Amino acid sequence: MSDYKKLHAAVIEASNSKDWNIAKLEWEFISAYRDNSGKNCLCGHHIVEVCQIQNKHNLYILEVGNECVKQFNQDFDNLAKNILTIEKCLSKNTPSNLAKFAFQKGLITESELKFCLETAKKRKPSVKQEQWKININSKIIGRLKQRVCPKCRLGNLIDKKGKFGNFLGCSKYPECSHTEPISD
């Protein structure tokens, strides 16, 4: 089975439609991040740049590599590249498509969106503008860096506090009781 056939089969299994050309339309981009822990894409390849996509109908979340995300929509690929770029360098200008995505997802305010759109092409921002840009990019990256629960694939792993200390737990608790220790 080719790499893309494995990807298509896994996505179809998690979709309402059983036709790839329709199933891929059920998915929306939600995040991208770097992970050096040895994850594999649904196609089987090792990935470092992980893209999270979510089914609009059943809310199932999948993680695919930055190459396989192109199978869904070119906009997904562009968003992933832009997120990974500002993650590397928070002082980069926030690309317009990323600023609009962040605003639509409720990650930034209207005034922050306007600032990003107005300064997207500006080469020499003032010191105050530079700091605001870094703050906005930090906010976007921080809110997008959530790990999907490996058990239910519907929730995200969030910090929790228990009687034995801090740990990661699924945001869908009590429906999902997955937990992990916090690694240093």
Choose between 13 and 36: higher pLDDT.
13
DSSP-assigned letter for residue 107: S
Whether 6 has a pLDDT exceeding 90, the answer reads yes
pLDDT of residue 159: 79
- Confidence band (pLDDT; 50, 70, 90) for 106? confident
DSSP 11-70: HHHTSS-SSHHHHGGGEEEEEEEE--S--B-TTS-B-SEEEEEEETTT--EEEEETTGGG
Kindly report the pTM of this predicted structure: 0.74
State the average pLDDT over residues 95-111. 92
pLDDT of residue 183: 63
CB 98 within 8 A of CB 140: yes
pLDDT of residue 2: 59
80-103 b/e with 16+ CB inside 10 Å = b?
bebbbebbeeeeebbbeebbbbbb
Choose between 145 and 53: higher pLDDT.
53
State the average pLDDT over residues 127-136. 94
Environment class of 36 (CB within 10 Å of its CB; exposed 0-12, middle 13-18, buried 19+): exposed
Choose between 24 and 164: higher pLDDT.
24
pLDDT of residue 44: 92
The H or E element that residue 100 is part of is helix 96-104
Note the pLDDT tens digit of each residue in 22-42.
999 999 998 888 888 888 999
Domain regions of the chain by residue span: 1-72, 89-146, 147-184
pLDDT of residue 79: 92
Lowest-confidence range among 29-33, 150-154, 171-175?
150-154
C-alpha 90/C-alpha 133 separation (Å) is 8
Q: Could you give the strand order of the β-sheet that contains 49-55, starting from the edge strand earlier in sequence?
A: 27-34, 49-55, 61-65
